[in-house]
Amino acid sequence: MNLSKYSRREAHEVCVGNVKIGSSYPIAVQSMTNTPTADTASSVAQTKRIADAGAGIVRLTAQGRKEGENLENIVAELRKDGYSTAIVADIHFVPEVASIAARYVDKVRINPGNYRTSNGELEALIAQCRERGVALRIGVNHGSLAKRIFDEWGDTPEGMVVSAMEFLRVCRKENFDQVVVSMKSSNTRVMVQAYRLLVEAMEREGMTYPVHLGVTEAGNGIEGRIKSAVGIGALLADGIGDTIRVSLTEVPENEVPVAQMLVDYYKSREGEFVINHPENYHPTQYVRRSNVTTPIIHSELTDEFCVVESTSKNPTAELRAAILNMNSTEPVMVKRRYEDNSAEAVALKAAADLGVLFLDGLADGIWVDAPALSEQEIKDIELMILQASRVRFSHTEYIACPSCGRTLYDIEKTLADIKSRTSHLKNLKIGIMGCIVNGPGEMADADYGYVGAAAGRITLYKGREIVEKNIPQEEAIDHLIELIKANGDWQDPE
């Protein structure tokens, strides 16, 4: 058993504008606009709303030269109006746009899946960033690994780490340390495994780059908050994470208080408990400690289960230690009481505390004790935590991106419309993606996919395969329903 005093993983200081990221500083909260970056007025207005909600860092997509150049106007307007918010440019596909954006912003995020290290492009960008004091994020996405990485490693956590380390070594060779790294996925297990493997790989090579945490395509409502909290909370509990974004398919300013609640929830824990992992633990090995194949909720409790309850302010550590110290492999139900009056607060805290115990195969049942909530609310939260932890699927899962300036339709309304017609379906995953940048890759394990292909046009997927292209948006949901029916996955509402 690995026993070590809890503390934030050591991460050196990176300056993103006037925001400092690293283990010596509070975990920074950020979000991303979903307005067209070529539209100065709407992008400035939304950035202000995000900043007013409490985010110190705001990211904007720059998918082309026009958007990259317009970042100059957006930043100028913000500064003129007294906003010192750190601005990040999100780059996909076109390395030239990264060099344009680096003239104006505080940080540039690039995706190794769409960038090369063999032709000097990265070195040139690093030199430009160094000259202006611009930070860099190496942002690996599970859904958009480079073909050569995918061909050797598949879309695995190991492949994600290989991709990140390749770029981090170039940064180190260039003596450029103003770098943040992320390993995002819509699958919480893949996300947690990838980050844990990354930290191990960086430690082996003496790297202390700060880490940006996030679960992509988490969806909306309580379910989206739970999915984000399961993944982010699992890593915060291990002391990993220097800045976070909670990605919701809602207006982006809604993400900020959720992320801040998570940051505040973990702030008081530092330095006060021991982190326990099983002997011979490895991040990508998922082994259940009992013979229970489908974890249960508290209303299904039977005599064969041992209930392990936490009453301390460090529940994840207490529960994990109690389970690992058991001499038997009898099924364990983990229990925690929450006095909060809001379902959102209970859901967020319970997901952060308990989800990792299911991701790591330690727990077999969940009991959220919340006197202020109804039994139905508690049941829904428990089932959502089990589903977000990838151990029990009880309802349709929606892999929905939070949208950005690349989004080609009203994804928030579309998600609501698709949910209204499909939420009664059992054990299905439906991906609703704004564009093709990460869409097909991030929803690779979805049963069906609804992806923006062009303005007003949708492409439908069955698994990884395109079924129908360029459907008029007003007809696309009907086509999706027919596709589900044609494949025998439809059940009429009860």
The torsion defined by the Cα of 475, 476, 479 and 483, in degrees rounded to 10, comes to: 180
Closest CA to 370 of 406, 329, 339, 408: 339
pLDDT of residue 3: 39
Compute the average pLDDT of residues 291-304.
94
Is the predicted pLDDT of residue 285 greater than 90, yes or no? no
HSE on the CB side for 456, CA within 13 Å? 2
Q: Would the pLDDT of 272 be above 80? A: no
Domains along the sequence of the chain with CATH: 2-275 (3.20.20.20), 286-388 (no CATH), 397-486 (3.30.413.10)
Q: How far apart are CA 415 and CA 433, in angstroms?
A: 9
- Give the per-residue pLDDT at 457: 82
Query: Phi/psi of residue 453, each to 5°?
Result: -110, -30
Is the predicted pLDDT of residue 444 greater than 80, yes or no?
Answer: no
pLDDT confidence band for 404 (50 / 70 / 90): low
**pLDDT classification of 429: cutoffs 50, 70, 90:** confident
Question: Could you tell me the pLDDT band of residue 276, with boundaries at 50, 70 and 90?
Answer: low
Mean pLDDT, rounded, for 318-326: 90
187 against 229, higher pLDDT: 229
* 221 pLDDT more than 90: no
Cβ pair 479, 468 in contact under 8 A: yes
Buried b (16+ CB within 10 A) or exposed e, 184-200: bbbbbbbbbbbbbbbbe
Instruction: Identify the CA nearest to 195 among candidates 144, 143, 158.
Output: 158
Cβ burial of 127 (10 Å; 0-12, 13-18, 19+) is middle
Q: 442 pLDDT exceeds 70?
A: no
Residue 421 token pair: 């017609």
Instruction: For residues 352 and 259, give the distance between their C-alpha atoms in angstroms, rounded to a whole number.
Output: 12
Residue 193 confidence (pLDDT) above 90: yes
**Other CB atoms closer than 10 Å to residue 117's CB: what's the count?**
14
CA atoms within 13 A on the CB side of 85: 33
Over 50: is that where the pLDDT of 2 sits?
A: no
Q: Residue 463 to residues 154, 352, 415, 470, 481: CA-CA distances in angstroms?
A: 16, 30, 18, 17, 15
Position 189 pLDDT exceeds 80: yes
Position 484 scores a pLDDT of 87
pLDDT, tens digit, 9 for 90 and up, residues 330-385 = 999 999 999 999 999 999 999 999 999 999 999 999 999 999 999 999 999 999 99
117 Cβ contact partners less than 8 Å away, ≥ 6 residues apart:
166, 167, 170
Q: What average pLDDT score do residues 268-281 get?
A: 64
Q: What is the pLDDT of residues 16-71, one digit of tens each?
A: 999 999 999 999 999 999 899 999 999 999 999 999 999 999 999 998 999 999 99
Q: What is the DSSP letter of 79?
A: H
Strands (E), 49-103: 57-61, 86-91
> Cα–Cα distance between 98 and 5 in angstroms, integer?
40
Closest alpha carbon to 346 in 382, 318, 320: 382
The pair of structure tokens assigned to 457 is 């046009």
Among 102-111, 189-198, 420-429, the minimum mean pLDDT is found in 420-429
Higher pLDDT, residue 250 or 72: 72
